[in-house]
Each structure stands twice: as C-alpha cells, then as structure tokens.
A = this chain, B = another copy of it.
C-alpha cells in the first residue's frame, strides 16, 4: 500500500478539524491510485464501492441521458472529493467520472465510511458542508440557465474554471487541463457549434486565445463584464 504524506493533505477542507494522528489513521485505510488521461474512474449506474480524494490531475463528472446526451456535472480539482455516493446514501454512482489528465486519487472503500465518520465526526461535518456547497452551486447553475443567454453562461463557466483551475500567466489566465468546445457546451446547456462561434468572436476581440482543447483568458476583466451584462437593458 502506497504511503501518503499527511502533510500534503492535512490542510484540505475535508480534514479540517482532524488531528494529525487521526489523519494518519484515516489515510492508512486509503490507497493511492493513478489514472492515466482519458480513463474512466467509475461509470454512472455502477455499484458504488469507493469514494475518492483527488490528489493530482483533473476529473470530469458527467451525467448521461437514456438517449445518450451528456452534461458535465463538474470538474474536480486537486484536493476535492468525488464519488461520494455512499455518503449521500446512493447505492450507485449517479454520474461517470473520467480523468481528463493524468491523475492520482486517494481511494477508500465505502465500507470504511461509517467507521471513519463515527470515529471522526469532523469528516462527516466537512462532507456535509461540501455537499451543501455543491447543492448551492447547482441551484445557481439552474438560475443561470433559466435567466441568461448562452454567451453569458459561457462567460460564467470559463470564469469559474479559471478561478478553480486557472494557471496565472504573464498576460491572462490559462485553464490548465484539456477542455473541448463540446465540454463547455455540456457545461452550459448549448451546442459545440454555438460555443465555437462565441469563442471565435471573443478571440477576434482579443478576449481569449484558444486552440485545440486549450483556452487562455486574455482579458478576464472584460469577460466578467460580458458575464454580468443584463440583456434586458443595456446597449449592444
């Protein structure tokens, strides 16, 4: 079983309020697994057997309709948990998780969850907070989809990605994992064609620089303006 350095994870929200020796005990139950780029970590509908803490890389959680359309539920950044089916009382994973980059995750068997939360209530409390936060983010997303038009939603999505997983450059912010037009479409409820048109437009205005699975926000400030502009009033 791979050793995990406690000092690397002690500061994560998941472990807030957990004593170092307790942390050690918790980590002893986990193993560390490497997922090469574009490998599935678990599939929607599969029996949930483990829960995860991402250490390196990026993971996309996506939900698929019976008809095969997908939406991206979220991108998981290092330090975040995912696959918490057990914690919320789901027997199957409600989405598919896929490494979009070479990734490493800590993985616990679900059977460890009841014991761990009983021994370390802070774990349960912290998890409750993150689930609550995700719920609020979902509601915000629903609000956006209901009230904003596509361009604003794409602006919001990119800004969120940038603040969550942006690499600061001399001049702009780069989203530091591969992401396609299709992915952005699935985050914002539109089509890859429309996303492509929007980004092309932005590119010609110098707002972004983008290529194959790569996006750099060159002028985040003006993108914020786009995101917040209120269609019901302003001039074009």
Interface residues, chain A, with chain B CB atoms under 8 Å away: 63, 65, 67-71, 73, 84, 87-90, 94-95, 118, 121, 124-125, 127-129, 131-136, 138-143, 145-147, 182, 186, 189, 230, 232-236
Chain B residues contacting A234 (CB-CB under 8 Å) are: 67-69
Q: Which of B63, B140, B230, B235 contacts A139 (CB 8 A)?
A: B63
**A230: which of B67, B135, B143, B232 is its contact (CB, 8 Å)?**
B67
Determine how close the nearest CB of chain B comes to the CB of A225; give it in whole angstroms: 15
Smallest distance from the beta carbon of A142 to chain B beta carbons, Å?
6
19 contacts between A and B (CB under 8 A): A63-B140, A67-B233, A67-B234, A68-B236, A69-B147, A69-B234, A88-B131, A88-B132, A88-B133, A118-B121, A121-B121, A124-B124, A128-B131, A134-B135, A138-B139, A138-B142, A141-B142, A142-B145, A145-B146
Cβ contact within 8 Å between B63 and A186: no
Closest chain B CB from A194 CB (angstroms): 13
Residues of B within 8 A of A143 (CB): 63, 65, 71
Which residue of B has the minimal Cβ distance to A146?
B189
In Å, the complex CA distance between A87 and B130 comes to 11
Q: How far is the CA of A124 from the CA of B234 in the complex (A)?
A: 41
CA of A124 to CA of B132, assembled, Å: 13
A213 vs chain B, min Cβ distance (A) = 17
Bound-complex Cα distance A145 to B150 (A): 13
**CB-CB < 8 A to A236: which residues of B?**
68-70, 182, 186
Whether the pair B189, A73 counts as a contact (CB closer than 8 A) is no
Query: A145-B142, A146-B145, A146-B189 given as contacts; is B69 within 8 A of A132 (CB)?
Result: no
A131 → chain B, closest Cβ, in Å? 6
Interface centre among A133, A186, A189 (most CB of B within 10 A): A189
Measured in the bound complex, the distance between the Cα atoms of B125 and A127 in whole Å is 11
Closest to A129 in B: B89
With A132-B89, A135-B134 known to touch, is A145 a contact of B189 (CB < 8 Å)? yes
- Separation of A95 and B67 alpha carbons in the complex (Å): 33
Docked complex Cα distance between A87 and B131 (Å)? 10
**CB distance A235 to B69 under 8 Å?**
yes
The CA of A146 and the CA of B185, in the complex, are separated in Å by 9
